[in-house]
Each structure stands twice: as C-alpha cells, then as structure tokens.
Structure 1
C-alpha cells in the first residue's frame, strides 16, 4: 500500500483552498461512529444448545436508548453525501461530461470494495461446504451477518443514481423539495402506524433523499450564521422530543426488536428530526472545524481514513465475527450479562481487539478502494469487440449504467431479505450472487471503455 500512501499524501498536499474539509471529516466520523456503535452494542453469548449467538444490547439497556440521539450519525453520512455528490457532479459537467459519465465514475468508488466482500464471502462459503463439510444453514447465517453492512449500501446506491434528477429539482425549486419528501415520510409513518407496513417502505427512499437534498443546500451556500444553525438545532431537538415523548415514536434511533415502529429502517420523522439537529450542530462547528483541519497532519489523516472508509464499514462485522470465532475456539470468549458491570468493563478491551482484527482486513482490501478514490490506473481486461462497442455507444451507455446500479442494488437487497438460516451453497441466494457479479462486471466494463466520441480510455 506504499504507492497508495504516497498518493494520499500528495492528494492532501494538493487540496485546493476552496475545498470544505469539514465535510470530509464528518464523513469519516459518521462511518467510524457506526462501526464503534455496532461493536459496543453487540451481545455475544451461547444458546441452550451451546451455539454462538449475537444480538443487540439495546432491549436490555433502556437507559442507553436516548444516547442513540447522538450516536446515530447515519444521517450525517447522507448529508455529506449530498454535498460531495453535488460537488463531483458539477465538476464532471465543467469537464464537459454528463450525468452518465458521473454515475460511471461514482461506481468506481462504491462497487469494487463491495465486490471484494461479496467474492470473499461467497468463496469462503463454497470452501467451507466443499472442504470442511460445514452445515449450509450455519454458513448462511455467518454470511448473512457479515453482509449486514450491505443493506445501507442499497439505499445509498439508489440515492446516487437519483442524484442528477434530484439535483436538477434542487436547482429549480431549492429548499421547497425537502418538505415534500418529509411529507411523504410522514405519510409512510402513518401507514406503518395503521398496520400497513408495505406502504411505509417508500421511506427507505424518501427519508434518505430528504437528508441528501439538504446536502445540496449546504453545498449551494446554506447560511452558516449562528441564528440559522441554532434554529435547526433547537427545531430538530424540539420536534424529536415531541415525537418521542408525546408522540408514538420510540426513543431509540437504532431499531429495537419488539417496537411497534422503527426509526431507522425505514427512516421516520423522528430520525429526520435528528438529522435536522445534526445539521444545526454541523453548521455551528463548521468554521472551527475548517481551522482545525488546516494544522499539522490532521488533514492528511482525514484523507487517509476517507480513502478506505468504505472498506472499514464493509468489513467491520467480518472482523468481529473472526475475532469472536477465535476467542470461542480458544475457550476465552467473555459472555457476561448485557448491562452488567463485567459487560461494561469488557467494552473497551473488545473495541481494541475488534480494531486489531479489522486492521489486516483494511490493509488487504483497502488498496482496492484507494485505487477507486484516487483514480489510479487499473489494468485493462480484454473485452470482446461487440461488448466494447455497446459500452462506448452513447445510446446504450446511460441504460447500461443505470441497469448496472439497479442490478447491484437488487442483488444486495435480495441477500439482505433472504432468511438468515436458509441453506445456500455460496452463503447467498444464487440469483443475487449471479446478478451482482454480472452487473458489477457491466459497470467495470463501462469504467474501462470511453464514450465513442472520446479519443482515449478513461480510468476510474
């Protein structure tokens, strides 16, 4: 990873003064917070048959549920995603590109690190069955757990595909768009409260689009005056208190089994209230954060973390599984009661151990993401002439790009929805695995094939 490290340092040194570095810091903080939250709030133990089990500790820690108002930072990721996507889309157009080429470039950052995880999980599942005669149901459970981070990627991939039309709406209607999306979220919440959960599924899209849309507003100069920031913070906090204490929404912003209504999956009005308050906090800290990032090697560290942030997120559950398995085999797996003094005392040592388990995975798979983030030259693969012509054709190219994203999103969603104990040879539904690999290959072909009118190939 030496060449990639040098590229990261060069990229940090060449950062233009106009870049809002605080946005990159927020992206890194949001994902790292999610990773630490998953590690901290997980209970590992044994069932009555002596089998390993894992679950969330939140149902047994009601005192910790208000803390999720602070540590649930996934809205921050979509907020800075909106900002970053608006910036990169505008840059693509300044270079003479279009929405299709922008979408293809974005796939180079998102798809390769995801493909690495899919291939390793699928290959490991096949090897476990062929060489170790592992129980297919148990293998599926392990793969399903390790692929939990992919549910979030489904929503983000769809939001990325919709960025060009949603940005066009923003340019025309501005801040009138988010209230419409919030209204759709409210309608979905009403449907869920009335027992019609299917009609609330649209909140997976409308909720994240609303937050993403505010990222556009931030990019276009959402006032950073203290009055605006404080209004957002107080308004979001007030709405959150009203919705959770007087209204029907649960206090936890992380799903708790048994709750009538979940705030996170799909996003609810309560989660959007949290997002509003978080936007206010971000605006309040904006100038101070910018000044802080212009000293020493802090900015280089932020660039380095962001260059492998997807890898950290995608592999953090796998790292936990590997560590728990190792401690189990060694007979030293701690299993204190959730919420007990012993359980709380083990949180910090386990964080250190989980981090140690994740480090080699990032070292191995991180360079895949770094190449996408820095657009380093990739090795071109031989491509049949007919496929190359289709990929370069300006008529087919947009449709192939959208179809590639749609197929990848469908495959990841199908894997997430497939029962966690349903036996499968590859640990994933066959249709999901085949669809994913085929569509990832289509996007790879598009990235390596320039549009017909361009003189040379485009990498990245």
Structure 2
C-alpha cells in the first residue's frame, strides 16, 4: 500500500479536511515569504547581512499581502483549539499544559541546537557577523510561537466571549488596535511614547484567533463571513489609500513604519478579509481534499508544522553560508536590487525546500514527546536555548 493510500485509510471520516488544508496553506506561506522577501548582502570581510527586495521593488508589496497568512493560521488555531477544549474531559490546566508542551519542545530544540552550532561554525571560520545574521533569522519566526502560546492560554476566555457575542467578540480587539494606531500615527503622534505600539501585540494577533473560536462554536455563518470579507477588504483599501499605511505587510529596511511588528490595523483588516474568504470556501476546499493525492501532502505538512516553522530559516542559511565563502552568488549573496536577483532567488527555492526536508527528517523528533530524555537532558537543553536567546537578541 502506498503512503497516500495509507494516509487516506487512516483518516477518520469526521476529519475536517478543509481546516487542515487552510493550516497547511498558512504554514507553507511562512517559509515561502521569508525565502522570497528576505535576501543577503556580502560585505568586504565575507560576512552576510540581511537585506530585502522590498527596499528596491515597491511592486513586491502585494506579494506580501498573499504571503502574510498569519491571520488564517490564528483563525484555524482558534477553531481547532475550541474543538479540542470543549472535548477535553480533564482540567483546563492539563489541556493547556499538553498544548503548550507541544509548541515549546520544537522551539527548545532548534535554539539548543543553534547554541551548539554557533561556536562550532565560528571555529570553522564563519565570520561573527554571519553568525549574528543567522541567529537573528532563526529567532525571527519564533516570536510567533510566544504570542501563540499566550493566545492559546486565553482560549477559555475566548470561548466565553464567543458564547455571549458570537462574531462580535472580536470587535473590541479591532477597536483597541484602531485606538493605538490613531494615537501613534494621528495628530498627536509626537507626544505619544514609542512603547505604546506594544499594546497592539496581543489584541492584534488575538483578533483572528477569536474569530476562529467563534467559528468553531458555529457563531459565524455565511452572512458573517461575507461581512468579514467585504468589510475587511474595504477597511484595507481605505487604510492604504486614505490613511497612507505602508503597503508592505512585512517590515522594510529603512522605513520608519511597519505593519507587522507590532501589528497595525492593516494586518487586522487583511486577517478579517482572509478569514471571511476561508470560511466561505471551506466546503469547496473540503470536497477538493477528498482526493487522496491532494490530502496526503496536507497531512504530512500538518504533522511537521513546528518543524517547518522552526527550521526553514536554517535551511536557507545552509545554502547561503557556504555560498558566502565563494563570493557573490546570484540570488544568494548578491544584493536583492535587480530583476535578475528575483529570477535567481526563484531558482534557489527548490534547494531551500530540499534542505528543509533533509533537516526536518532529523529535527522532526523535537515535535514528539521527549520520553527518553532525563531531567538533566531537559535542563541542559533549556540552558543552551537560553544562552542562544541571549546571544541572538543581544
């Protein structure tokens, strides 16, 4: 029996294939976005530094609208969490502990491994600036896991809010982000402290998660989904055209404003539109994924979700760091400021994907329970991870 046939045979009849398909799509958007919208430059000492094609090519901004699918990820996360939470027969603390451990193990694994890699690579002649660049890239997607842990911990409160207000439970979160954006970008912006933007982090990412919880409790139907799609799209257009929000959904080097760190109102508008579209397309996507050949990759991607998230930057660095010793290599160590770089980078994507598959074959073990790890092993991994975090963030 082929792998596709085995996966199909083991899939329960009640499995919501559309939700898994949406999660897989959002997961793949993360490495694709980082690989396409992140580049390197090579300095005189042979070290690589972060650069972005968005600094040169403004027309790349709409690409970031498509690849910024964290709204979908949080939507599906809220949907799956509420189903798991309502079916759980134990305590809320036990439910949270299981889910937090599932997210935390892969993060601990990748940071501990990199804590060992940094001194080894330095001893092998990799420049310190290259290692700093690599550490920054490895840590970059892990902020998401921290936010997702906090959001997951708030699931019981999201369930109560959705039970009382339905889809409207997400409205106060949207309003909160709008108020902070007005303060930091409005007429009194100069008098507002810079730290105020941090207040957008939790409501900004909780917004789509709350929508997912309401969806899982069947408090969002097609009418509400159409309202999310059309209202989100209208707000998105207004923010771009009338209020001059930055067009890119990710940070652009040299720009003073960013939409994603922390999330601006534009991120929530996009998340609302994406969420509405996802809910409306659910049945059609579910029918499509009844085909075993399409369903099997979705299952594999979902089973490797945290591996993809934690290790995709390492896969790109596994190609770029050796290339830096060869000098300028188009699409890898050359500045992302020409159309030729875009073509070359597209050609490198299959290599990045192949390296991620190779790394994932071994890193996948971090996602499973560490049943054979002793307390000493766990403590050592924690210390290594903490040391790498200090190095990367320092």
Structure 1-normalised TM-score?
Answer: 0.75
Where relative contact order (Cα < 8 A, 6+ residues apart) is larger, the structure is 2
Paired position in structure 2 for 1:75: 71
Checking the alignment, whether the CA contact within 8 Å between 1:187 and 1:200 is kept in structure 2 is no
Deviates more, 1:53-62 or 1:133-142: 133-142
Q: Distance in 1 between matches of 2:289 and 2:195?
A: 45
- Counterpart of 1:184 (choices 157, 176, 179) is 176
Matched, 1:171 2:163: yes
Alignment of 1:156-305 (within 5 A): 156-193=148-185, 194=189, 195-225=192-222, 227-305=223-301
1:65 and 1:31 map into 2 onto residues whose CA distance is 20
The separation in 2 between residues aligned to 1:329 and 1:47, in whole angstroms, is 11
Cα distance in 2, alignment partners of residues 169 and 356 from structure 1: 43
Partner of 1:99: 92
Offset of residue 127 of structure 1: 3.3
Instruction: Give 1:381 deviation, angstroms.
Output: 4.1
CA contact (8 A) 1:40 1:347 kept: yes
- Measure the CA separation in 1 of the matches of 2:164 and 2:56: 48
Q: Is 1:146 aligned to residue 138 of structure 2?
A: yes
Match of 2:348 in 1: 350
The root-mean-square deviation of aligned C-alpha atoms, in Å, is 2.9
Aligned partner of 1:121 in structure 2 is 114
Q: Aligned to 1:282, what secondary structure does the other structure show?
A: helix
SS, match of residue 139 in structure 1: helix
* Cα distance in 2 between the residues matched to 1:158 and 1:296: 35
Q: 1:50 to 1:259 in 2, by over 3 A?
A: same
Cα displacement (A) at 1:378: 2.9
- How far apart, in 1, do the equivalents of 2:263 and 2:215 lie? 21
Distance 1:31 1:357 in 2: 17
Q: Which runs of 5+ in 2 are unaligned?
A: 377-381
TM-superposed CA distance for 1:137, in Å, is 6.0
C-alpha contact (below 8 Å) 1:170/1:216 kept by paired residues:
yes
Structure-1 residue corresponding to 2:379: none
Distance 1:163 1:11 in 2: 30
User: Relative to structure 1, is the Cα distance of residues 344 and 202 closer, same or farther in structure 2, using a 3 angstrom cutoff?
Assistant: same
Which residue of 363, 366, 370 maps to 1:365? 363
CA distance in 2, matches of 1:297, 1:309: 19
Residue 10 of structure 1 deviates from its aligned partner by 6.3
Flag structure 1 segments of 5+ consecutive residues without an equivalent: 384-407, 416-425, 434-460
Q: List per-residue Cα deviations over 1:348-378 (Å, max 9, x = no partner).
A: 2110111122121111111332x35xxxx93
